[in-house]
Structure 1
Amino acid sequence: MVERANRPSALNAPAEATPGPQVDITGTGPSSKVIATLPSGESVEVLLYGATVTSWKSEGGKTENLWLSEKAALDGSKPVRGGIPVVFPVFGPPPKSGHATSSLPQHGFARNSRWEFLGKSAAEDALDASSVKLDFGLSTTELSEEARKAWPFDFGLVYSVTLAKDSLQTVLNVRNEGEESFEFQVLLHTYLKISDISKVAINGLLGVSYVDKVLNATTHQQSDASVTITGEVDRVYASIPQDTTTVLEDGKPRFDVVRDNLSDTVVWNPWIEKAKGMGDFAPDEGYKQMVCVEVGAVDGWQKLEKGEVFEGGQTMKSLL
């Protein structure tokens, strides 16, 4: 048999295309939401009303990481109780007078405005099957007339939600698109779902000063390595030196919350009486299955001049 010097190699069958993340838009009007699912089953749901993340499932879609009230309004009638509401441009009740945010409702307008879905973004990295990034936008033109009158500045917000196998990243980009400077605060009001509040400890805040809203807004210093919750808690921890706060349950790490360019964290649990007093909080004993660890810039004000941009966010890791 004669050997051929340039015998053709065997033809390689084309490799099957790797399935990518699936992104769907469901519902109409204020109830519209975007659902992204990885091929491995992890998912995130974002309501266009408030760009509120209402669900984040890890472990192949088996474990829900966010607490959502059974009575949460998902029809655009009021801000969502649970998930991750976006607080902008003021945290809590606004200053009574003398500030540009004074005419706004508590927590501002971002959480009760309808955002625009800007699409699946691959601007920073080539997205693969292990992650998907969703972008949402809100600007002056999308605001209600009432909100524009109360806060008459030209701005643009882009909120990016990136789902990976064991993490969820949420980042807010704020741009001053007008001629005047403006001041603002921002907070991501995350409701983490846990099994038993009595077994929860929050680490990473030792030595940090905080304002205790339960104790007449007095200032204290965190003297214990762990924050434990045995009653109503509403604390604003400011200028935290380390980036990571860890939520443990029954002594085992459950979540890491990693801040990016946001120096403050609010820890909140309404406990028994306050939970009963909120009409959209259900069940009444739901406080046992949630704890809010909310990253933000709320100690003082951020200021943007014409054309300037601020960006900050968080990466939450499920540690199961």
Structure 2
Amino acid sequence: MVGDKKKPPTLDVTAAAAETTSSHATLTQSSDRVTLSHPSGASATILLYGATVISWTAHGREQLWLSTASALDGSKAVRGGIPLVFPVFGPPQAGTAAEKLPQHGFARTTRWELLGRTEGESAGEANICVDFGLNAQSLDEETRAKWGGAFGLIYSVTLTSSTLETKMVVQNAGQGDSAAFDFNVLFHTYLHVPDVNKIAINGLNGLTYNDKTLGLTEHTESNETLRITAQTDRIYRSAPDELSIVDATADNKPVFTVSKVGLKDVVIWNPWADGAGKIADWEPKDGYQQMICVEAGSVAAWQTLEAGATWEGGVVHKAHL
């Protein structure tokens, strides 16, 4: 596993639900998921399959969009929530180390080990964090043969009254000069919004982006605020460390703030009606009107990790009242 100086005590996951309570928060676990509960009423639920966050509530409402047809039984990647993309984004390119892997890699379709929980304070309030681990031994034999890299991942999910932080630590556990590997990483976050037609995204003006709906051609964002009015699938390169999602019909009232660390890019995605209709596990079909994917990651270029080296990156999502 990744450097164990920060690894918390391992939690025993059994078929019977278990609960751990402190003065700050509660962690409830069962055979397939973990739920964090904050004294404020905020909560987060994470499946062990893919370490996928499938629910985040704050201020009394759900903040993530999840398809009602999404499989939550470990049979396929979850449609919605926060799936994890590693070690490749999109269909793998021929000639790369990841060329034999499925689209978006294996992190979102592999069962992770539950490592443990920690608690602390941030900005004067309590938080609760749960850590998950994944390494080469966690993969099935076929996937391990296709990837070949000796790696370790620690994924941390931290909850406060109004924020959800997701952080990934990647370690190259190989030895020797030939053990270096390249990877992409992305937090594929489906944010729930009341009406996508009314929101705007600030912070992208002037950035270069590749538009996947136009054959990955390169463009420069010329809008002060980005409005979603059609199918959108863009990779904004070298994006600022903070973006805001606002209600454009209510004096730009903040809805979400997305703050990233160690991540270079942001993907903005909404399939719109034409795209949603082609996705088998997308329900309801008009659900694209209540979601926007603002995905922090490093995907426009490969991250190279030398043997024995460690990389770390993450994102904090803040939900506003």
Deviations along 1:193-214, whole A, 9 cap, x unmatched?
A: 0011110100011100000011
Q: Distance in 2 between matches of 1:301 and 1:18?
A: 41
Q: Which of residues 114, 119, 138 in structure 1 aligns to 2:116?
A: 119
Question: How do 1:1-320 residues align onto structure 2 when only pairs under 5 Å count?
Answer: 19-26=23-30, 28=31, 32-59=32-59, 62-95=60-93, 97-122=94-119, 125=120, 130-179=126-175, 180-240=179-239, 242-249=240-247, 250=249, 251-320=252-321
For 1:216 and 1:22, the matched residues in 2 are separated by 47
State the TM-score, normalizing by the size of structure 1. 0.89
Question: Is contact 1:21-1:129 (8 Å) kept?
Answer: no
Per-residue CA deviations over 1:72-102 (Å, capped at 9, x if unaligned) read: 110000000000000000000000x211000
Q: Which amino acid aligns with 2:209?
A: Y
Aligned residue-pair number: 294
Q: CA deviation at 1:20?
A: 2.2
Q: What is the identity percentage for the equivalent residue pairs of Structure 1 and Structure 2?
A: 47
Partners of 2:125 and 2:160 within 8 A in 1: no
Distance 1:107 1:156 in 2: 18
Contact conserved, 1:20 with 1:129, CA < 8 A, in 2?
A: no
Q: Distance in 2 between matches of 1:18 and 1:87?
A: 32
The answer to whether the Cα contact below 8 Å between 1:70 and 1:282 also exists between their aligned partners in 2 is yes
Deviation at 1:38, TM superposition (A): 1.0
| Distance in 1, Cα, partners of 2:121 & 2:231 | 44
Deviations 1:247-294 (A, max 9, x none): 112331100000101010000000001101111000000000000000
Q: Which runs of 5+ in 2 are unaligned?
A: 1-20
Offset from partner CA, 1:141-183 (integer Å, 9 cap, x none): 0001111011011100000000011101000000000121100
**CA distance 1:94–1:116, change in 2 (3 Å):** same
Where 2:257 maps in the other structure, the secondary structure is: strand
Letter in 1 for 2:70: A
Residue of structure 2 equivalent to 1:13: none
What letter is aligned with 1:220?
Answer: H
Residue-by-residue CA offset, 1:285-312 (whole Å, 9 max, x unaligned): 0000000000000011111111100000
> What secondary structure, in the 3-state scheme, does the structure 1 residue paired with 2:186 have?
strand
Q: 1:272 to 1:121 in 2, by over 3 A?
A: same
What letter is aligned with 1:288?
A: Q
User: How far apart, CA to CA, are the structure 1 residues paired with 2:141 and 2:246?
Assistant: 44
Unmatched 5+ stretches in structure 1: 1-16
Are the aligned partners of 2:136 and 2:144 in contact in 1 as well (CA < 8 Å)? yes
CA deviation map 1:117-151 (0-9, x unaligned): 111025xx568972101100000000011110110
